[in-house]
Amino acid sequence: MPIRGLERLRRFENRIIDIARRHPALVRLRQYGYSRRDKHGFRHPIYVLEIGKKSALRKNPFALVAGVHGLETIAIRVLLDFLNEALNPKSKVYLREIKSGKLALVTMPIVNPGGIVANTRSNPAGVDLMRNSGVDAESAMPFFGGHRLGNLLPYFRGSQPEPEARQLMRFVREYLFPVKKGLAPALDIHSGYGSLNHLWWPYAFTKDPCEDTGLFQAIAKRLKSKLDDSFYRFGPQSESYTTHGDIWDKLYLECHNPAKPRTGARFLPFTLEIGTWAQLRQNPKRLLKKKLIFNPDKESKKEFIRAHRRFLYELVRLTKLGSLKEYRL
């Protein structure tokens, strides 16, 4: 067993448990499921934190997800930092509405714990969980967009939904799909694509616009006015590249069936892709270490985390507490 990898996972797990321990009245920790068994026989637990009052969790949740790709640990750090700050009354991004019962956060901070231990993008079966949903792209990028050549190569689609992908889908169906009114947003945090930060919305499988494009654009416009707009790029994922098997496509298609009238809240999946390649240009030696391609170096780590804190705060406020009046919801 790679002990260093296991220690890395334990450090993140301890931070998750610590959030629950420090806010016993507001936070509930659930063990939601297990990862695929790894080659050493381990199945790693997948945790969920429910943050806020139970009634707010039913009526007004915002879902946060990270760690789908085991190498992208900066994404988990950004998520855990935000949870700590949002619960801290002294923080600039404190969300008082959690305590007052208006808002809840629900989070699966590490979807792919086996990937953290093995230091791989894929899960323990060598499957890329963001290529694993079964949705076929109209014209995916060759190889990178997902393939069925086998689990020795990255971006492998797998042949059936992996346990981690199934847990994530169950999580969204349990917490977001039953919401009756308003918006039901989810933010999935990744890192490593390009030198800019991207906020993507559906679709990944086609360049056709999704049904909520107007709403996504309105949210992007508001966010740009609140943040340094050169720092983030906004658009459908297919504007960057198209892929097979995106889990968010699968879930979005599930609740936007044109044959059925829409009921309940509008499920809005966002993906934040934190760009870490600007540093590669400054220091090309980083290319030799795969972990450094997907994560900033130690000195800029804190700066990175702080920069995205505000972004998450504004996205949560806008979609859960904002008015967005031009859209009758």
Binding site for Zn ion (CB under 5 A): 69, 72, 190
> In this complex, which beta carbon is closest to Zn ion, that of residue 23 or of residue 69?
69
Q: Find the shortest distance in angstroms from Cβ 28 to Zn ion.
A: 27
Calpha distance 89→83 (Å, rounded): 12
Taking the least distance from each CB to Zn ion, the nearer of 69 and 308 is: 69
Minimum CB separation of residue 135 from Zn ion in Å reads 17
CB 130 → Zn ion: shortest distance, Å?
A: 6
Beta strand spans in 27-117 (E) = 27-34, 45-51, 61-66, 104-108
- Nearest CA among 110, 118, 112 for reference residue 40: 118
∠ Cα 211 264 259 (to 5°)? 50
Residue 176: CB minimum distance to Zn ion, A? 21
Q: Which residue is nearest to Zn ion (CB)?
A: 190
Nearer to Zn ion, 23 or 190 (CB): 190
User: b/e for 69-82, b at 16 or more Cβ within 10 A?
Assistant: bbbbbbbbbbbbbb
CB of 293 to Zn ion, least distance (A): 12
Backbone phi, psi, residue 172, to 5°: -70, -40
Give min distance, CB of 259 to Zn ion, in A.
32
Classify 251 as helix, strand or coil: helix
- Contact predicate 138/242, CB 8 Å: yes
Nearer to Zn ion, 237 or 319 (CB): 237
Judged by CB, which is closer to Zn ion: 101, or 194?
Answer: 194
Q: What percent helix, strand, coil does the chain show, rounded to 5?
A: 40, 15, 45
Nearer to Zn ion, 190 or 222 (CB): 190
> 186 exposed, middle or buried (CB, 10 Å; 0-12, 13-18, 19+)?
buried
